[in-house]
Amino acid sequence: MNKIQVMNEDLANKIAAGEVVERTMNVVKELVENSIDANSSIIKIELVESGVKEIKVEDDGIGMSRDDSILAFSRHATSKLKTLDDLFNINSLGFRGEALPSIASVSNITLKTSDGVEGTMLEIDGGVIKEVKSCDLKKGTTITVSNLFYNTPVRLKYLKSLYTELANISDYVNKMALSYPNVKFILINNDKELLNTSGNGDLLKTINNIYGVVVASKMMEIKGENDDYKISGYISYPELTKSNRSSITLLINNRVVKNNEIVRCILDSYHTYIPKDRCPYIVLKIEVDPFLVDVNVHPTKMEVKFSKMDSLLSLINEVISNRLSKKTLIPKANPDNIEDNYYEDIKVEYEVNENLYEDEEKIKPNNKVEEITFDFNTLENTEEEFQEDERIKDMYPIGLVHGTYIICENQNGMFIIDQHAAAERINYEKYYHALSTHSNNTIDVLIPYKIELPSNEYIILEKHFDILDRLNFKYEEFGNNTIIIRSHPTWLPKYAPLESIKKIIEVIVNNEDFDEDKFNEKVSITLACKMSIKAGDVITMPDMTYLIEELRKTKNPFTCPHGRPTIIAYTKYDLEKLFKRAM
């Protein structure tokens, strides 16, 4: 008897279901994508117990004939691929023909569909069609999936909590709404409406529907293209961040995807604008010839490969960096709501800073926020764009608070400058420029500096003596694990050259895998942090004036190298509101 046999269709579908349908979100994803491919303008998703008990997706798309509706539940049956060439020119969201039979094999399904000519209803149990009959002629398709994994209880055990399943579905539907702002999306769980977009094609309004007015009011539109790619969408001001990457939405030809290289590129574009452990809000739409992108990488179709990734990453970095460099990015103090931009994180992830919030009541939303409205058509014009040297207007210091915060004013209002953060930014750009341009200017040391290291650290330093050569240090080995520095670059701080040299050596020995750009970056940040004036250092009025003028000359005067703000603004109206002069 032959040992190798062809699997029957039911078994094959259950195996495919293990790849395509891992959780309730996968079911919603496949059904919603079918609705999109059917040219729907309204898609309604209704869940019972986060979809574990029931998922119902209703659309007003083109519907199906009776024969097509029956054939749709056969494996590899699809209307979207006909030839091998089509596989390399995919313009639809679905194309494999595995989703419906896979879902049907592990659930009970009721399908109602009409193409306007005839209405068809199917009852399917575990992949087997039990009944086919006529139904009403309302054009579109409604699929109800119930008792998911009832016949594969092992998979049912691996579902997460109902909250987690619902969060994943909500996140996916949000991203689909951002991808298709011209489609009205309605999401309901246990009769509670979670999302209801307008479907009028306005992406910014969809962002408002999903994230709220505080986020939408702090987004900037971006556009750009090169020979291979066209990108568009919205990026947030640096003050608006989240602690995880869920705030970044990537859309390739309107398909929601995941790509770590693109995310890293986005975060690099925000480098020093935001802290390393924060992520901006991004909706990035990428248009590309289907021949340059492969979506046939994973059964979920959320992972993609690009033929010309370098071209795409270069475009993204250029567009985002240019947009940030031409915007005035001073956070405005909000008299009504402290830290609006972190509210969502505080509420959902309980990242409560005990120094700011004394009790639970203080992290609840202020009802006034929900009443704020703005004109989506003119939002982008609410702030002017400036050349780099004009983004901070002239301001005049009037005092110092707690030896840390410089109070300034001009005709627009009052400004508070963190003197350490400002000095860090100034010094960081100074050191980074010197390191990157390989300055040859050096100064001899009157009494040579002797630096002794532990043997393990000296071994690493010895391996990278070429770095000291490149930086134009003059040195020599002196006994065991010791070097003597006889001259150093002139850009080192004059008041603490030895300490600076030790910091540079520390960076070398703690980063054995050497990369010049990363090294320059690390050294610049380290020196700027350690060698700048500190919080609590009392400085004079001329010092304050000099600091402000130097800050205005930097490329990014709004944040320190760690991404913390250097300046916070109180407009004249804010002050009047605080003192009840304006209501």
Whether residues 441 and 467 share a domain: the answer is: yes
Q: Say which residue, 387 or 32, is predicted with more confidence.
A: 32
Whether residues 474 and 535 share a domain: the answer is: yes
Q: Other C-beta atoms within 10 Å of 496: how many?
A: 14
Separation of alpha carbons 218 and 395, rounded Å = 24
Instruction: Using the 3D structure, point to which of 178, 196, 214 is the last residue of a domain.
Output: 196
Give the pLDDT band (50/70/90) at residue 463. Answer: confident
Residue 174 has pLDDT above 90, yes or no: yes
The CA-atom distances, in angstroms, between 532 and each of 361, 437, 556 are 38, 22, 17
pLDDT score for 4: 59
Mean pLDDT of 202-209: 94
Separation of alpha carbons 329 and 307, rounded Å = 35
Whether residues 145 and 208 share a domain: the answer is: no
| Nearest-10 crossing angle of helices 260-269, 309-325 | 30
pLDDT score for 193: 95
Q: Given CA atoms 551, 556, 560, 564 in this order, what sign does their dihedral have?
A: positive
Separation of alpha carbons 138 and 61, rounded Å = 10
CATH of residue 434:
3.30.1540.20
CATH of residue 23:
3.30.565.10
Mean pLDDT of 124-141: 89
Residue 478 placed within a domain: yes
Mean pLDDT of 184-206: 95
The boundaries of the domain holding residue 303 are 203-325
Mean pLDDT of 60-83: 75
Residue 339 has pLDDT above 50, yes or no: no
Whether residues 17 and 160 share a domain: the answer is: yes
Residue 380 has pLDDT above 60, yes or no: no
Beta bridge partners of 44: 58, 186
Q: Given CA atoms 267, 268, 273, 277 in this order, what sign does their dihedral have?
A: positive
Tokens 């702030």, residue located: 383
Q: Which secondary-structure segment (H or E) carries 233?
A: strand 229-236
CA-nearest of 374, 382, 32, 320 to 204 is: 374
Residue 373 placed within a domain: no
Residue 323 has pLDDT above 60, yes or no: yes
Separation of alpha carbons 263 and 286, rounded Å = 13
Yes or no: say if 406 and 419 are a contact pair by the CB < 8 Å rule. Answer: yes
Q: Say which residue, 315 or 259, is predicted with more confidence.
A: 315
Whether residues 529 and 552 share a domain: the answer is: yes
Long-range Cβ contact pairs of 489-497 (< 8 A, separation 24 or more): 489/434, 489/439, 489/441, 489/442, 489/443, 490/439, 490/441, 490/442, 490/443, 491/430, 491/431, 491/434, 491/439, 491/441, 493/527, 493/531, 496/531, 497/445, 497/449
CA-nearest of 62, 64, 59 to 42 is: 59
Mean pLDDT of 413-441: 91
Residue 249 has pLDDT above 80, yes or no: yes
Residue 387 has pLDDT above 60, yes or no: no
pLDDT score for 513: 66
Whether residues 410 and 289 share a domain: the answer is: no
Pairing label, strands 42-48, 184-189:
parallel
> Tell me, what amino acid is at 243?
S
pLDDT score for 297: 52
Yes or no: say if 578 and 335 are a contact pair by the CB < 8 Å rule. Answer: yes
Backbone angles phi, psi at 53, to 5 degrees: -85, -40
Q: Which secondary-structure segment (H or E) carries 560?
A: none
Q: What percent of the chain clears pLDDT 90, i.e. is strictly above it?
A: 46
Mean pLDDT of 214-242: 93
Mean pLDDT computed over every residue of the chain:
82
Mean pLDDT of 297-310: 68
Lowest mean pLDDT among 225-239, 328-342, 435-449, 507-521: 328-342
Rg (CA), the chain: 30
Q: Given CA atoms 318, 321, 325, 327 in this order, what sign does their dihedral have?
A: positive
pLDDT score for 353: 32
Prediction pTM value: 0.76
Whether residues 269 and 403 share a domain: the answer is: no
Structure tokens at 112: 């109602």
Residue 83 has pLDDT above 50, yes or no: no
Give the pLDDT band (50/70/90) at residue 404. Answer: very high
Yes or no: say if 277 and 564 are a contact pair by the CB < 8 Å rule. Answer: no
Mean pLDDT of 248-261: 90
Whether residues 264 and 190 share a domain: the answer is: no
DSSP letter for 340, please. G
Instruction: Using the 3D structure, point to which of 196, 229, 262 is the last residue of a domain.
Output: 196
pLDDT score for 542: 93
Separation of alpha carbons 85 and 487, rounded Å = 66
Mean pLDDT of 55-63: 95
Whether residues 432 and 552 share a domain: the answer is: yes
Whether residues 319 and 224 share a domain: the answer is: yes
pLDDT score for 340: 41
Q: Other C-beta atoms within 10 Å of 453: how many?
A: 19
Domains held by the chain: number? 3
Burial class (CB in 10 A: 0-12, 13-18, 19+), 117: exposed
Q: Say which residue, 215 or 1, is predicted with more confidence.
A: 215
Residue 137 placed within a domain: yes
Residue 236 placed within a domain: yes
Whether residues 188 and 218 share a domain: the answer is: no
Mean pLDDT of 100-109: 88
Q: Say which residue, 552 or 156, is predicted with more confidence.
A: 552
Residue 380 placed within a domain: no
Residue 551 placed within a domain: yes
Burial class (CB in 10 A: 0-12, 13-18, 19+), 275: middle
Q: Say which residue, 304 or 529, is predicted with more confidence.
A: 529
Q: Say which residue, 151 or 341, is predicted with more confidence.
A: 151
Whether residues 416 and 495 share a domain: the answer is: yes
pLDDT score for 464: 87
Residue 527 placed within a domain: yes
Residue 425 placed within a domain: yes
Instruction: Using the 3D structure, point to which of 309, 325, 341 is the last residue of a domain.
Output: 325
pLDDT score for 336: 52
Give the pLDDT band (50/70/90) at residue 375. Answer: very low
Residue 355 has pLDDT above 70, yes or no: no
pLDDT score for 582: 74
| Nearest-10 crossing angle of helices 455-463, 497-509 | 90
